[in-house]
Structures are given as C-alpha cells and as structure tokens.
C-alpha cells in the first residue's frame, strides 16, 4: 500500500519523533521509500503499479508498453518508461522496485489512448499499443522520409511488420497529428500509402 508522509504523521501522531519513527520503519523494511514523502508497505508489489504515485499525472508507455504488447522484442527488467506532460525534461527515479523514466509528450496528445487499471488495490494508467508507438516516435530521433521512418520502425525499434499491420489504423491516424512532429506526420503518410 502506498502511503504518504502526511498519512504517516497521522498514524504516528502520539510519537514525538515522527521522522525518527519513519526512518526506523524504513531501516526495518516495513516502509520502502519511493520518492521523498511517498512510501510503499509491500516489497512484493509489481513496480508497474507505482509509476503514478512517484510522478503524477503519468502513465506507462514507450518501451515498457511496446514490450508488454510484444511489438518490440525486448524490454528491460524493472525499467518503467512513463509519459507525462509539462515537466519539460526527462526525470528518472530509482528505488527498490526499479528505475522509473518519465518523458514529456505534448499536452494536446496526453489524454488520448490511455486507460486506467485498478489491480490489487492500486490504480495506474497505461497507454494503448498505438499510443505507446506514437509516444516512442515522438521522443525518437526525427527522420525526414518514409524510408527513414521504416528504418526506424522495423530496424532500429525492431517492430515486426505483421504486428505493425495489426495496429488500429484509425487510432494511429487520430493520435499522430496531435504530436506535431515529422516522425508522426510521416507515420500518417505511411499509413495512407
């Protein structure tokens, strides 16, 4: 269960040294620090469930979701790639559960193609495979031609062509223009070929 320092202050209100009590709980393994002021009580929880508690608003996307949906052949264990907006730079947090990498996408594109999941009393949000692909193309090196885009998709990212063809074309055609970058503009052209 995720718990904040403010909640711990209420829980330990009869203790004079609350910070000392929290430090002892961390040292004993009863609390695991996610980020300053946010803790987890269950060391066995799936790290994917925690990304929104570390930095909010955010959702799982990029390589993590592309790997989850088997669009790319590999994913790094315990590396959770997340999308956020308005942070203006990448943010990386490391804790007991893994590495959490947050990257900005345009606010205009942020609310589409994501769904909330509640599992084991945790609430988190994930991108659709189409949204994860758009997010990844947004942060990838910008290319100048459809030929270069195909190279990026099928050689650099190693997306299987059959998996690519199985993506929801209408979703991609809706999402891609929201990013306003050459990679996503070229994706629209590729889809219309």
Structure token pair of residue 97? 């559960």
Residue 191, exposed/middle/buried by CB under 10 A (0-12, 13-18, 19+)? middle
What pLDDT is attached to residue 193? Answer: 87
Rounded Cα–Cα distance for residues 193 and 188 (Å): 9
> Omega into 128 within 30° of 0, i.e. cis?
no
Q: How far, rounded to the nearest angstrom, does the alpha carbon of residue 146 sit from its chain's CA centroid?
A: 27
Q: How many CB atoms lie within 10 A of CB 39?
A: 23
Q: What is the CA radius of gyration of the chain?
A: 19
In the sheet where 2-4 sits, what is the strand order?
2-4, 38-40, 32-35
pTM of the model: 0.92
Structure token pair of residue 186? 């070229």
Rounded Cα–Cα distance for residues 30 and 153 (Å): 44
The string over 53-62, giving b where at least 16 C-beta atoms fall within 10 Å of a residue's C-beta and e elsewhere, is bbbeebbbbb
What pLDDT is attached to residue 25? Answer: 94
Of 140, 189, 135, 191, nearest to 165 (Cα)? 191
Strand, coil or helix: 10 = helix
What pLDDT is attached to residue 77? Answer: 76
Q: How many CB atoms lie within 10 A of CB 16?
A: 7
What pLDDT is attached to residue 88? Answer: 79
What pLDDT is attached to residue 46? Answer: 95
Rounded Cα–Cα distance for residues 48 and 53 (Å): 10
Q: Digits of tens for pLDDT over the chain (193 positions)? A: 999 999 998 888 888 898 999 999 999 999 999 999 999 999 999 999 999 999 999 999 999 999 999 999 877 678 999 999 977 789 999 999 999 999 999 999 999 999 999 998 899 999 999 999 999 999 999 999 999 999 999 999 999 899 999 999 999 999 999 999 999 999 999 999 8
What pLDDT is attached to residue 13? Answer: 85
């Amino acid at each position: 269960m995720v718990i904040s320092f403010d909640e711990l202050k209420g829980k330990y209100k009869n203790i004079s040294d609350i910070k000392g009590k929290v430090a002892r709980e961390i040292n004993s393994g009863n609390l695991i620090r996610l980020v300053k002021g946010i803790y987890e009580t269950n060391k066995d929880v799936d790290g994917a469930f925690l990304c929104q508690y570390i930095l909010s608003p955010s959702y799982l996307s990029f390589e993590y979701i592309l790997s989850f949906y088997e669009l790319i052949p590999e994913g790094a264990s315990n590396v959770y790639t997340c999308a956020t907006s308005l942070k203006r730079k990448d943010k990386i947090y490391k804790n007991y559960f893994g590495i959490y990498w947050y990257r900005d996408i345009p606010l205009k594109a942020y609310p589409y193609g994501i769904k909330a999941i509640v599992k084991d009393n945790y609430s988190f949000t994930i991108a659709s495979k189409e949204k994860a692909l758009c997010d990844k193309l947004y942060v990838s090196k910008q290319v100048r031609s459809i030929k270069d885009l195909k190279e990026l998709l099928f050689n650099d990212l190693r997306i299987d062509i059959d998996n690519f063809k199985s993506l929801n074309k209408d979703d991609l055609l809706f999402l891609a223009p929201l990013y306003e970058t050459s990679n996503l503009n070229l994706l629209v052209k590729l889809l219309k070929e």
